[in-house]
Amino acid sequence: MTETLPFTPLEEMTHHMDRTFEPWNMQGEIESTGTVDIPRLREATATAMEYHPLASARRRPSSLTDTRYEWVIPDDPEPLDIIEVDSDETALEAVRNRIYGERFDLTEEPPVRICIYRGDGIDGGDRVLQSVSHVAGDGLGTLRYSQAVWQAYKGNEPMRDPVTLQESRSFLQDIEPSRIADAVQAMDSLARRARESITRPTSLATDGGRDVDGWGYARYDLSQELTTRLVRDRPEDISVNDVLLSALHLAMADWNDAHGKVTGRLSVMMPVNLRPKEWFHQVMAMYSMFESVRSGRGDRRDAADLLDHVSFQTTRIKERDRAAALYKALALLPDELPIGVRQELPELLRGPGMRLTDTIILTNLGNIPTYPSVGPDTEERPFFTPPSWRGSPVGLGVASLDGQVRIFGRYLRTQFDSDGADRFMQTYADRIEWLVEELATMTAE
Give, for all 445 residues of the chain, the pLDDT tens digit.
Answer: 589 999 988 898 889 888 888 899 999 999 999 999 999 999 999 999 999 999 999 999 987 777 788 999 999 999 999 999 999 999 999 999 999 999 999 999 999 999 999 999 999 999 999 999 999 999 999 999 999 999 999 999 999 999 999 999 887 665 554 444 444 454 455 445 555 555 679 999 999 999 998 999 999 999 999 999 999 888 888 999 999 999 999 999 999 999 999 999 999 999 888 888 889 889 999 998 888 899 999 999 999 999 999 999 998 876 545 555 555 555 556 666 667 656 655 544 444 344 457 999 999 998 887 788 998 899 999 999 999 988 899 999 999 988 899 999 999 999 999 999 999 999 999 999 999 999 988 877 6
Long-range contacts of 15-19 (CB under 8 A, 24+ apart): 15/59, 15/69, 15/106, 15/135, 16/342, 16/343, 16/345, 16/346, 17/346, 17/389, 18/103, 18/104, 18/133, 18/134, 18/135, 19/103, 19/343, 19/346
- Cα within 13 Å of Cα(194), Cβ side: 9
From the list 159, 173, 214, 192, the residue with the least C-alpha distance to 372 is 159
Q: How far is CA 151 from CA 87, 164, 266, 375, 434, in A?
A: 26, 19, 41, 9, 40
Quote the CA–CA distance of 147 and 180 in Å, as a whole number: 42
Q: Are strands 127-133 and 360-367 parallel, antiparallel or unpaired?
A: unpaired
In angstroms, rounded to a whole number, what is the distance separating the alpha carbons of residues 163 and 323? 22
Which has the closest alpha carbon to 22: 421, 417, 360, 412? 412
Measured distance CA(284)–CA(26) in Å, rounded: 12
d(CA 292, CA 391): 13
**Do 386 and 363 form a contact (C-beta atoms < 8 A)?**
yes
pTM: 0.88
3 state SS of 372: coil
What stretch of H or E contains 258? Answer: helix 240-258
* Residues contacting residue 442 through CB under 8 Å, at least 6 positions apart: 235, 303, 304
Which neighbouring-strand residues pair with 221?
A: 406
Distances (CA, A) of 261 to 141, 205, 258, 414, 421: 38, 7, 8, 17, 17
Q: Which conformational region is residue 441 in: left (phi greater than 0), alpha (psi within -120 to 50 degrees), or beta?
A: alpha
Nearest CA to 256 among 304, 297, 199? 297
Please say whether the beta carbons of 426 and 255 come within 8 A. Answer: no
Q: What are phi and psi of 145, to 5 degrees?
A: -65, -40
Cα–Cα distance, 22 to 391 (Å, whole number): 10
Distance CA 31, CA 28 (A): 10
The neighbour count for residue 219, using CB atoms within 10 Å, is: 16
Query: Which of 83, 100, 90, 76 lies closest to 28, judged by CA?
Result: 100
How many Cα atoms within 13 Å fall on the side-chain side of residue 171?
Answer: 16
Q: What are residue 24's phi and psi, to 5 degrees?
A: -95, 85
